[in-house]
Amino acid sequence: MSVEFKPEVVAFCCRHCAYAAADLAGGGRQAYPSAIKIVELPCTGRMDVVNVLHAFESGADGVLVAGCLSGKCHYIKGNLYARQRVNYLKALLDEIGLESERLRMVNISAAMGIRFAELANEHVECVRKLGPNPLRSAAKQGVAA
């Protein structure tokens, strides 16, 4: 059964770093899983708690938040606010009954294409071990309805 499980991971990526790094990874033919669905943000500071919850509610097996390196945010502290929200969300996910490991925040630069591919692979593998989001079937039924 675990062989058939194909995780779906939403990656909220800052356009100044991770989004460009994902592009670089692709350009450099660094493989990262097709399971990663990238959402481009102007800054991870734009990521709202509700965005992440709705991703999980809609059936995402994992969420990756990728922002600039500490001290390198184009908007000064957007990545730091995002980190605080991720920490809040992790506690909330545990309360909800969904493993908080399904959510991870990473910090990279636009030049770190190889690192982006590594982190994407790591997170997808982590999610694969956790198994499908238990809300996935309910979400699909909801879409069908």
Partner 1 sequence: MIVAESKPLEAISAMLQRYEKVLAVGCGTCVTVCFAGGRKEVATLAASLRMKRGIEGKPLEVAEAFVQRQCEWEYIEPLAEQVKKYDAVLSLGCGVGVQTLAERFPGTRVLPALNTLFMGLPTEAGVWEERCQACGACVLDKTGGICPVSRCAKQLFNGPCGGSQNGVCEVDKSVPCAWHMIWERADALGMTDALMEIEPPKNWASSRDGGLRRMVRDDLRTPTEDGGNE
The count of chain residues that interact with partner 1, using the rule CB under 8 A, is: 15
**Which of 11, 98, 124, 127 is in the footprint of partner 1 by CB under 8 A?**
98
Interaction between residue 116 and partner 1 (CB under 8 A): no
CA distance linking residue 47 with residue 90, whole number of Å: 14
Taking the complex as a whole, the smallest distance from the CB of residue 95 to partner 1 amounts, in Å, to 4
Query: Using CB under 8 A, which of the segments 8-16, 28-36, 103-111, 133-141 binds partner 1?
Result: 133-141
Sheet with 62-67: list strands edge to edge: 36-41, 9-14, 62-67, 103-107
**Which of 69, 76, 111, 138 is in the footprint of partner 1 by CB under 8 A?**
138
Give bridge partners of residue 83 from the DSSP assignment: none
Provide the 3-class DSSP secondary structure of residue 125. helix
Interaction between residue 48 and partner 1 (CB under 8 A): yes
Interaction between residue 53 and partner 1 (CB under 8 A): yes
Interaction between residue 54 and partner 1 (CB under 8 A): yes
Structure tokens at 119: 């982190």
**Which of 56, 61, 67, 79 is in the footprint of partner 1 by CB under 8 A?**
56
68 contacts 109 by C-beta, under 8 angstroms: yes
11 contacts 134 by C-beta, under 8 angstroms: no
Give, in degrees to the nearest 5, the angle at Cα 62 between 57 and 68: 115
Dihedral over alpha carbons 17, 18, 22, 25 (to 10 degrees): 70
Interaction between residue 19 and partner 1 (CB under 8 A): no
Interaction between residue 130 and partner 1 (CB under 8 A): no
Where on the chain is the footprint of partner 1 (CB under 8 A)?
Answer: 48-50, 53-54, 56-57, 92, 95-98, 134-135, 138
